[in-house]
Amino acid sequence: MTPRESRVLKGTITLPYQWALGPTNTRFFEEFQNKRIMGTRCQQCGRVLVPARSFCSRCFKDMDEWVQVKDEGTLRTWVLINFPYEGQPKEPPYIIGLIELNGANNGFSHFIGGLKNYRIDFLKERVRIGMRVKAVWKEKREGTIFDIEYFKPTE
Ligand SMILES: [Zn+2]
């Protein structure tokens, strides 16, 4: 038998699943219906983390003190998604930003929107690390991450 190239079968696997939110994530998302973004504070290191967590990832202490943070903050980094792939939350192009909300000590990922266009030359001028952004809430909220349409620049 002579060596030959490996044969490859191509196919698609879909994986429907359900994810039990648990009490901490359930409350976190339910508060969105009242336009409240909640974090939890660690009694040991004092950090407020958003989304709310049941324990501190640094100290491994329970985090059961709930704290409301602002729905505005500072953009820490961002990325433009301008190509389609499986499982995207919306049609590209769109921007995902890492936002440090006022009152929180970590980054919260969400869309950056309300921009005139998504041309990279425009975005390089308009979207910058350190700029202030504020949540744009949907009129009808259902307790999901999409209750916030996006964060818009306020400067
Ligand atoms: Zn801690």
The pLDDT assigned to 86 comes to 85
Ligand 1: centre distance to CA 64 (Å):
12
Distance CA 68, CA 79 (A): 27
Is position 131 within any domain? yes
| Sign of the dihedral defined by the CA atoms of residues 19, 142, 151, 84, in that order | positive
Q: What is the pLDDT of residues 50-104, one digit of tens each?
A: 999 999 999 999 999 999 999 999 999 999 999 999 889 999 999 999 999 999 9
Ligand 1: centre distance to CA 69 (Å):
17
Distance CA 105, CA 42 (A): 11
Split into its structural domains, the chain has a count of 1
Ligand 1: centre distance to CA 108 (Å):
17
Predicted TM-score of the model (pTM): 0.87
CB 48 within 8 A of CB 69: yes
Ligand 1: centre distance to CA 45 (Å):
4
Q: Is 92 helix (H, G, I), strand (E, B) or coil?
A: coil
The pLDDT assigned to 1 comes to 57
Is position 68 within any domain? yes
Which pair of tokens denotes residue 11? 């196919």
Is position 15 within any domain? no
Is position 9 within any domain? no
Q: Is the pLDDT of residue 3 over 90?
A: no
Q: What is the pLDDT of residues 104-155, one digit of tens each?
A: 999 999 999 999 999 999 999 999 999 999 999 999 999 999 999 999 999 8
* Domain housing 138: 22-153
CB 101 within 8 A of CB 73: yes
**Could you list which residues have their CB under 5 Å from ion ligand 1?**
42, 44-45, 56, 58-59
Is position 96 within any domain? yes
Is position 3 within any domain? no
Is position 36 within any domain? yes
Q: Is the pLDDT of residue 4 over 80?
A: no
Is position 110 within any domain? yes
Q: Is 139 left (phi over 0), alpha (psi -120 to 50) or beta?
A: alpha
Ligand 1: centre distance to CA 49 (Å):
9
Ligand 1: centre distance to CA 47 (Å):
6
Distance CA 74, CA 153 (A): 9
The pLDDT assigned to 32 comes to 98
Cα separations (Å) of 109 from 5, 46, 94, 98, 104?
43, 21, 13, 5, 13
